[in-house]
Structure 1
């Protein structure tokens, strides 16, 4: 499967906002709103499409990849490039996460060079945590927002 990065546009944003994940991953479901579209179009989000031009997923870099309340808990000290990823729910749970994350990490390295990376994941998402650990990420900090426990993971 060949993957490529494309600029986020209105059509991609609307499709991504319509994705629905099965429980317990429905935590990641979004609701369509003008603000949500605006967020995806803020130039920090990119779409990953497959060789059939179907959206395989997306990723973001920078502040958009942070959980805003995490700053209050000191979860985001300087010195890291924050990344966030989202895979199309039709491709999740099929062992394709390795391909997806490897592609994104290689793309980021080709664009910005070798940098220390950080991502934030919800603690119940052991599937993602396992994937990130396989790619050299280590748990760094945790913080809670309501009933949800978030973990930051870093790769130096």
Structure 2
């Protein structure tokens, strides 16, 4: 557990942040959440390697000292904004997930106040599921989705705006 309280805030993702994120390495089984090398992301113009997508959909999550702690994608869909969330590997597993996710949910609600907020999570990722539940998300659906390692079971979790947990 991190000893001092951490306060997270959300800012637009910069190219420097995107490059740093591409260098993060997660321990198994979380290593499936890694990205391509920055030069490849940028050359292919995919995800936050595309400056327009980065500007429109991606945010960086910083701590009170403006250290990069993670990122989120706020992907607009009809009636919903779907979150994609990534925390810096060395911060995972220290009980900060609900604070981190809370900052992202606040930003999503600020940008899309009339939309539902949801996310997808692999069913085995209980660490993330605990953090999401602590923030006010509930499992609403289970389905299979293609991943780089084949079809895998996912939960869809929806934020309950009435929970006031963030």
Q: Assess same fold via TM > 0.5.
A: yes
Equivalence for 1:26: 31
Q: Distance in 1 between matches of 2:80 and 2:26?
A: 29
Q: Distance in 1 between matches of 2:120 and 2:41?
A: 19
Tell me if the contact between 1:47 and 1:55 (Cα under 8 Å) persists in the aligned partners.
yes
Alignment counterpart, residue 10 of structure 2, candidates 5, 21, 44: 5
> Offset of 1:5 from its aligned partner?
1.9
1:150 aligns with 2:146: no
**Superposed CA offset, 1:43-70 (max 9, x none):** 210001112221111111115xxxxxxx
1:59 aligns with 2:72: yes
> Offset of 1:34 from its aligned partner?
4.4
Equivalence for 2:132: 132
SS in 2 for 1:62: strand
SS in 2 for 1:61: strand
Question: 81-90 vs 134-143, which deviates more?
Answer: 134-143
RMSD of equivalent CA atoms: 2.0
Question: 125-134 vs 27-36, which deviates more?
Answer: 27-36
SS in 2 for 1:31: coil
Q: Where does the alignment leave 5 or more consecutive residues of structure 1 unmatched?
A: 64-75
SS in 2 for 1:52: coil
What TM-score, normalized to structure 1?
0.80
> Offset of 1:121 from its aligned partner?
0.9
SS in 1 for 2:144: strand
Equivalence for 2:3: none
What TM-score, normalized to structure 2?
0.76
Q: Where does the alignment leave 5 or more consecutive residues of structure 2 unmatched?
A: 1-5, 161-166
Tell me if the contact between 2:119 and 2:158 (Cα under 8 Å) persists in the aligned partners.
yes
Tell me if the contact between 2:13 and 2:59 (Cα under 8 Å) persists in the aligned partners.
yes
